[in-house]
Structure 1
Amino acid sequence: MSDLKEPTESRAARAERERQHPSPIRELTARELARWSWRQLTSMRTALILLLLLALAAVPGSLIPQENLDSVKTTNWQAAHTSLTPIYRRLGLFDVYGTPWFAAIYILLMLSLIGCIVPRLGVYWRGLRAQPPAAPRNLGRMPDSASYTTSESAEEVTARARQVLRRKRYRIRREPSADGAVSAERGYLREAGNLLFHVSVIVVLVGFAVGSLFGYKGGVNVLVGDQYGFSNELTQYDDFAPGSLFRPSMLNYFDLHIHDFDVSWLKSGPRQGMAKGFKSDIEYQTSADGATKSYRLEVNHPLDIGGTEVFLIGHGYAPVITIRDAKGNITYSGPQIFLPENQSFLSFGAVKPPSGNVALEGLFYPSALSLSDGSVTNITGDIGDKSAAVLSFQVFTGDVAAANAGQSVYTLNTTGLKQVTAEGGKAFNLHIGQTAKLPDGLGSVTFDDVTRWNKLQISQTPFKHVALGGVTLALIGLLGSLFIRPRRVWVRARETEGGTLVEVAVLDRSGNDEVGVVVSGLVAQLQGRVEEEQS
Structure 2
Amino acid sequence: MRWIVSVCRRAWRQLTSMRTALVLLFLLAVAAIPGSVLPQRNVSPEQVRQYLRDNTEWGPTLERFYFFDVYASPWFSAIYLLLFTSLVGCLVPRFRVHFAALFRKPPSAPARFSRLPASVSDIAPVPAADVVSVLRRRRFRTVVRVDGDVTEISAEKGYLKETGNLVFHFALLSLLLGVAYGSWFGWHGNRLLVQGQDFAFCNTLLNYDEHALGARVGEGDLPKFCLRMDKFAATYLDSGQPVTYKADVTVTQAGRTSSHLLQVNDPLRLDGANVSLLGHGYAPRLRYTDKYGKTHEQVAAFLPKDGMLTSDGVATFPDVNLNPDTGTRDEKAQIGFSGVYLPTLPSDPSVASSAFPAEKDPRLMLQAYQGVLGFDAGAPLSVYTLDQRQIDAKRLTKFGDPIMLKPGEKGTLPDGTTVEFVGTEQWISISIRHDPGQPIVLGGAVALLAGLLGSLTGKRRRVFFRITPTAMSAGGLPRGDYPGFTEEFDAIVAAVAPAASVPGQVAQTDVKEVV
Give the shorter-chain TM-score range.
0.7 to 0.9
Distance 1:142 1:33, change over 3 A: closer
Distance in 2 of aligned mates of 1:487 and 1:263: 61
Match of 1:509 in 2: 479
Distance 1:435 1:31, change over 3 A: farther
- Find 1:378's aligned residue among 349, 354, 364: 354
Do 1:134 and 1:177's aligned partners in 2 also have CA atoms closer than 8 Å?
no
Distance in 1 of aligned mates of 2:342 and 2:497: 85
Distance 1:297 1:529, change over 3 A: farther
Distance in 1 of aligned mates of 2:146 and 2:191: 74
Shift of residue 322, structure 1, vs aligned partner: 2.2
Match of 1:308 in 2: 273
1:313-339 superposed Cα distances (whole Å, 9 cap, x missing partner): 111111111233333333x41211111
- 1:86 is paired with a residue of what secondary structure? helix
Distance 1:64 1:266, change over 3 A: farther
Do 1:281 and 1:297's aligned partners in 2 also have CA atoms closer than 8 Å?
yes
Distance in 1 of aligned mates of 2:288 and 2:7: 73
Q: In terms of mean alpha carbon deviation, does 187-196 or 63-72 score higher?
A: 63-72
Any residues of structure 2 matched to 1:281-292 within 5 Å, and which?
281-287=248-254, 290-292=255-257
- 1:390 is paired with a residue of what secondary structure? strand
- Find 1:419's aligned residue among 380, 384, 397: 397
Would you say 1:438 and 2:408 are equivalent positions?
Answer: no
Distance 1:224 1:166, change over 3 A: same
1:409-451 superposed Cα distances (whole Å, 9 cap, x missing partner): 223222133331544xxx4333322333233x28333222111
Shift of residue 115, structure 1, vs aligned partner: 0.7
Do 1:284 and 1:294's aligned partners in 2 also have CA atoms closer than 8 Å?
yes
> Unpaired segments of 5 or more residues in structure 1?
1-26, 531-535
Match of 2:83 in 1: 109
Do 2:227 and 2:251's aligned partners in 1 also have CA atoms closer than 8 Å?
yes
Q: In terms of mean alpha carbon deviation, does 58-67 or 450-459 score higher?
A: 58-67
Do 1:358 and 1:400's aligned partners in 2 also have CA atoms closer than 8 Å?
no
- Find 1:389's aligned residue among 363, 367, 376: 363
Would you say 1:170 and 2:137 are equivalent positions?
Answer: no
Match of 2:297 in 1: 333
Distance 1:89 1:434, change over 3 A: farther
- 2:31 is paired with a residue of what secondary structure? helix
Any residues of structure 2 matched to 1:66-215 within 5 Å, and which?
66-147=40-121, 149-150=123-124, 154=125, 156-176=126-146, 179-215=150-186
Shift of residue 403, structure 1, vs aligned partner: 5.3
1:205-242 superposed Cα distances (whole Å, 9 cap, x missing partner): 11221111111100101112244311111111111100
Would you say 1:348 and 2:324 are equivalent positions?
Answer: no
Distance in 1 of aligned mates of 2:480 and 2:240: 56
- 1:454 is paired with a residue of what secondary structure? strand
Distance in 2 of aligned mates of 1:392 and 1:503: 96
Distance 1:69 1:359, change over 3 A: same
Residues matched between the structures, number: 482
- Aligned-partner residue type, residue 113 of structure 1: L
Distance 1:238 1:437, change over 3 A: same
Distance 1:169 1:177, change over 3 A: farther
Q: TM-score w.r.t. structure 2 length?
A: 0.86
Distance in 1 of aligned mates of 2:378 and 2:357: 30
- Find 1:274's aligned residue among 228, 241, 246: 241
Shift of residue 483, structure 1, vs aligned partner: 1.7
Percent identical = 34
1:100-157 superposed Cα distances (whole Å, 9 cap, x missing partner): 222222111111110111111222133223322222333234333344532xxx4x34
- 2:259 is paired with a residue of what secondary structure? strand
Distance 1:177 1:43, change over 3 A: farther
CA RMSD of aligned residues (A): 2.5
1:276-315 superposed Cα distances (whole Å, 9 cap, x missing partner): 321211111113xx33211111122211221211111111
Match of 1:320 in 2: 285
Q: In terms of mean alpha carbon deviation, does 274-283 or 345-354 score higher?
A: 345-354
- Aligned-partner residue type, residue 444 of structure 2: G
Match of 2:202 in 1: 231
Shift of residue 78, structure 1, vs aligned partner: 4.1
- Aligned-partner residue type, residue 278 of structure 1: Y
- 2:336 is paired with a residue of what secondary structure? strand
Distance in 1 of aligned mates of 2:464 and 2:71: 55
Match of 1:524 in 2: 494
Would you say 1:369 and 2:346 are equivalent positions?
Answer: yes
Do 2:285 and 2:423's aligned partners in 1 also have CA atoms closer than 8 Å?
yes
Distance 1:34 1:127, change over 3 A: same
Do 1:369 and 1:388's aligned partners in 2 also have CA atoms closer than 8 Å?
no
Distance 1:142 1:230, change over 3 A: same
1:62-85 superposed Cα distances (whole Å, 9 cap, x missing partner): 222222222334444444444442
- Aligned-partner residue type, residue 251 of structure 1: L
Distance in 2 of aligned mates of 1:185 and 1:421: 90
Any residues of structure 2 matched to 1:239-278 within 5 Å, and which?
239-267=210-238, 272-278=239-245
Distance 1:394 1:106, change over 3 A: farther
Shift of residue 252, structure 1, vs aligned partner: 1.0
- Aligned-partner residue type, residue 241 of structure 1: A
1:28-75 superposed Cα distances (whole Å, 9 cap, x missing partner): 843333223222221111211221222222222222222222233444
Distance 1:227 1:172, change over 3 A: same
Distance 1:311 1:399, change over 3 A: closer
Q: In terms of mean alpha carbon deviation, does 114-123 or 394-403 score higher?
A: 394-403
1:384-421 superposed Cα distances (whole Å, 9 cap, x missing partner): 3xx23333445353243135731222232221333315
- 1:326 is paired with a residue of what secondary structure? coil
1:236-286 superposed Cα distances (whole Å, 9 cap, x missing partner): 11111001111122111111211111111122xxxx112232121111111
Any residues of structure 2 matched to 1:468-483 within 5 Å, and which?
468-483=442-457
Distance in 1 of aligned mates of 2:303 and 2:23: 41
Would you say 1:360 and 2:337 are equivalent positions?
Answer: yes
> Unpaired segments of 5 or more residues in structure 2?
321-333, 501-515
Do 2:344 and 2:363's aligned partners in 1 also have CA atoms closer than 8 Å?
yes
